[in-house]
Structure 1
Amino acid sequence: MIQRQSNQTNMDWMLKDLAEGVPQTRNVVVLSADGLRMAQYGAETDTADRLAAACAGLQSLAAAVASELPHGDGRMRLVVIEMDGGFFYLMAAGSGAYLAVLADQGVDAGLMGQRMRDLVLRIGEHLSTPPRHDGQTA
């Protein structure tokens, strides 16, 4: 009998592929829109949980700014933050899901964006998360 693997297990190798395919990548986290970690690579669980929680606020701020554009739909697609020591990327990755990456200063920003887009396209159905009702998934 073949057992079904969880989405976490199914995504592990894909997140690892992104992290190892782009030099200087530190952490890769998949999160729900409400800031819950769904999968991770390269980060301790506590670190991944903190990044996921911070991303929920960041995507909300980005959506508020995007809504000010006259010809857009108000949805956030990609946020990049450059900091001393590195970069942070947050990309919409399906309905109610996001892909977040923390990378060191020397990362190739163009390669990172391309690899993140490729990953989102490859596993978009795994990254979508149903809406929550009373703390439970629908």
Structure 2
Amino acid sequence: MIQQRQNFDWMLKELYDSVPGIEMIVVLSADGLRIARYSGDPDAADRVAAACAGLQSLAAAVAQELPVGNGEMKMVVVELDKGYFYLMAAGANAYLAVLSDIRCEPGAMSHYMRDLVLRIGEHLTSPPRRNGQTV
């Protein structure tokens, strides 16, 4: 896992440098554990990752109510008082989350996030866990 985190640094930095206004980028597992982060406080990144687990679960439950599609959450955008929060499915049991200020245009951000996920999606995965252990 340490090697994987080192490999993420340059990829997340590229996203950070491409879009003005990004405050924090977090890669997380479906169960809310931080896999990697770029910028921001590590404790805050852990809290964001944990909150994302609930948000992705909620979005997936709502998506299953649509009569078309497979019920999978692709992306959630939340407009905040002074910025935006983005959460995108990024691979098997993995997600990409970004917090930004108001300078960040949501259309541009979703484009850059989708591009990152398409280029490195197979690396943005987290194996399933059982009783806290990777299976």
Distance 1:89 1:52 in 2: 12
Q: Pick from 16, 19, 22: which aligns with 1:19?
A: 16
Shift in Å at residue 51 of structure 1?
0.3
Shift in Å at residue 55 of structure 1?
0.2
Shift in Å at residue 129 of structure 1?
1.1
| Structure index of larger Rg | 1
Residue 58 (str. 1) matches residue 42 (str. 2): no
Residue 30 (structure 2) aligns with: 33
Instruction: After superposing the two structures, state which structure 1 stretch, 122-131 or 89-98, moved more.
Output: 122-131
Deviation string, structure 1 residues 90-128 (Cα, Å, up to 9, x no partner)? 000001000000000111212111110011011111111
Distance 1:30 1:130 in 2: 14
TM-score by structure 2 length?
0.96
SS state of the match for residue 92, structure 1?
strand
Shift in Å at residue 135 of structure 1?
1.0
Residue 88 (structure 1) aligns with: 85
SS state of the match for residue 27, structure 2?
strand
Residue 42 (structure 2) aligns with: 45
Report how many aligned residue pairs link the two structures. 135
Residue 101 (structure 2) aligns with: 104
Unaligned runs of 5+ in 1: none
TM-score by structure 1 length?
0.94
SS state of the match for residue 6, structure 1?
helix
Unaligned runs of 5+ in 2: none
Root-mean-square deviation over aligned CA pairs: 1.2
State the identity as a percent: 63
SS state of the match for residue 91, structure 2?
coil
Distance 1:34 1:119 in 2: 22
Point out 4+ residue stretches in structure 1 off by more than 2 angstroms.
Answer: none
